[in-house]
Amino acid sequence: MAFLKPLIRRRGNCRLRIFAAVGLACLAAFPSVAGVGAPPPSEYEVKAAFLFNFAKFVEWPSNAFPDANTPFVIGVLGNDPFGRYLDETVRGERLNNRELIIQRYRNASEIKNCHVLFISRSESDRLDQIVAQLKSRRILTVTDAAGGSGGIMIRFVNEGNRIRFKIDVQAARSANLTISSKLLRLA
């Protein structure tokens, strides 16, 4: 998976970025292609890469960033299943000239400035409450938890040994987020 990261970072060539995103999706679907003799990436290594890439294919309104120096925040709400993987994925990265940082939250009331929020499975009993609490915010909500009556924008699903994701375009629109058609084609 590391061999794709430099391709994803490049800015000029759109086809190359799409290829890299599709490559990540293939690695998620077929972990055995990651390398001969190398252990396949863990579920949360793959999901960390997806979170980072989701940020590249979503457009936030300008008021989602109070000023030009506001960092781009990827948050984790509840028990953190990523360990070091998410931090390693974004280390040294920038998104639209903004520093990328990871924040961890125990409850939704702690969230002040966040752009992508992964809601962990530990919060599955509170999904509807969390979605309602964040409804007026410009936060891309992502989870792999089952349940909830709606409002989660991207939901990871495991199908066999494949990690896929489903997108609720209406939920994203209601938060004034625009999801790229390139990402929608991968869903």
Name the residue with higher pLDDT: 10 or 187. 187
* Res 148: pLDDT: 85
One DSSP character per residue, the chain reads: -TTTHHHHH--S-HHHHHHHHHHHHHHHH-GGGG-TTSPPPPHHHHHHHHHHHHHHTEE--GGGSSSTTPPEEEEEESS-S-TTHHHHHHTT-EETTEEEEEEEESSGGG-SS-SEEEE-GGGGGGHHHHHHHHTTS--EEEE-----SS--SEEEEEETTEEEEEE-HHHHHHTT-EE-HHHHHH-
- Please give the model's pTM, rounded to 2 decimal places: 0.80
* Res 4: pLDDT: 45
Q: Where are the domains of the chain?
A: 5-186
* Res 73: pLDDT: 97
Name the residue with higher pLDDT: 143 or 69. 143
* Res 147: pLDDT: 86
Per-residue model confidence as pLDDT tens digits over 56-95: 999 999 889 989 889 999 999 999 999 999 999 999 999 9
CATH homologous superfamily, domain 5-186: Response regulator (3.40.50.2300)
pLDDT at 32 over 50: no
Per-residue model confidence as pLDDT tens digits over 168-178: 999 999 999 99
pLDDT at 33 over 50: no
